[in-house]
């Protein structure tokens, strides 16, 4: 597998996600409930019985770079919220990490997802509220995107990456 420099990998990751976002928008989103008129807006990101979004090291790097564009006080607030999330929901890098759920620290009241345009995780791009299962994107579609993300990680970091809860990767890359 041909190695990639982090910056090149980040460019590829961004393009991959933009294409996937467009595909979901063009082919599925019009069949889903409109988030703008949702009376529980954001619950899909903050419901700690539901959210267990996992990301990879390269995606965490992309999120970190997106957050770096915010004012430093806002960054401090977000990383503080991230740390509280890890403690509150007892998130770890070991064991069955998918069994633990949490309220996502990247959801900002009045704004929504802070990384929506630049670095949204694959399951978040896929997710919307559909009335019928036939209207939903297939699992295979999402798995294909995740495999592409995995390949980029392997080409960039070798074996030094894995899928972890979003707050854990953000905390690991904080310093």
Residues binding ligand SF4 (CB under 6 A): 33, 35, 38, 40-45, 51, 53, 104, 106-107, 113, 115, 120-121, 124, 128-129
> In terms of CB distance, is 42 or 137 closer to ligand SF4?
42
> In terms of CB distance, is 45 or 60 closer to ligand SF4?
45
Task: Please tell me the distance from the alpha carbon of residue 137 to that of residue 31, in angstroms, as a whole number.
Answer: 11
What long-range pairs does 139-148 form, CB within 8 A, spacing at least 24?
A: 145/16, 145/20, 146/122, 148/16
Task: Please tell me the distance from the alpha carbon of residue 13 to that of residue 119, in angstroms, as a whole number.
Answer: 9
> In terms of CB distance, is 62 or 124 closer to ligand SF4?
124
> What distances in angstroms separate CA 30 from CA 23, 43, 136, one per listed residue?
12, 20, 11
Rounded to a whole number of angstroms, the minimum distance from the CB of residue 122 to ligand SF4 is 10
> In terms of CB distance, is 1 or 40 closer to ligand SF4?
40
Rounded to a whole number of angstroms, the minimum distance from the CB of residue 46 to ligand SF4 is 8
> In terms of CB distance, is 43 or 136 closer to ligand SF4?
43
Rounded to a whole number of angstroms, the minimum distance from the CB of residue 158 to ligand SF4 is 26
Rounded to a whole number of angstroms, the minimum distance from the CB of residue 52 to ligand SF4 is 10
What letter would DSSP give residue 141? H
CA 26-30-33 angle, 5° bins:
140
Rounded to a whole number of angstroms, the minimum distance from the CB of residue 160 to ligand SF4 is 23
Q: Are strands 112-113 and 107-108 parallel, antiparallel or unpaired?
A: antiparallel
Task: Please tell me the distance from the alpha carbon of residue 91 to that of residue 85, in angstroms, as a whole number.
Answer: 8
């Amino acid at each position: 597998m041909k190695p990639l420099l982090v910056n090149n990998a980040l460019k590829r990751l961004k393009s991959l996600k933009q294409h996937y976002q467009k595909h979901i928008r063009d082919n599925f989103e019009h069949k889903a409930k409109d988030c703008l008129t949702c009376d529980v807006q954001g619950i899909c990101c903050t419901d700690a019985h539901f959210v267990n979004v996992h990301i990879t090291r390269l995606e965490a790097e992309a999120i970190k770079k997106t957050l770096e564009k915010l004012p430093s006080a806002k960054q401090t607030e977000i990383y503080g919220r991230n740390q509280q999330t890890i403690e509150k929901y007892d998130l770890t890098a070991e064991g069955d990490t998918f069994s633990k759920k949490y309220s996502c620290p990247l959801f900002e009241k009045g704004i929504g997802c802070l990384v929506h345009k630049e670095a949204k995780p694959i399951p978040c791009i896929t997710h919307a509220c559909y009335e019928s299962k036939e209207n939903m994107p297939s699992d295979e579609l999402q798995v294909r995107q995740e495999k592409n993300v995995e390949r980029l990680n392997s080409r960039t970091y070798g074996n030094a990456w894995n899928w972890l809860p979003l707050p854990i990767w953000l905390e690991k890359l904080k310093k």
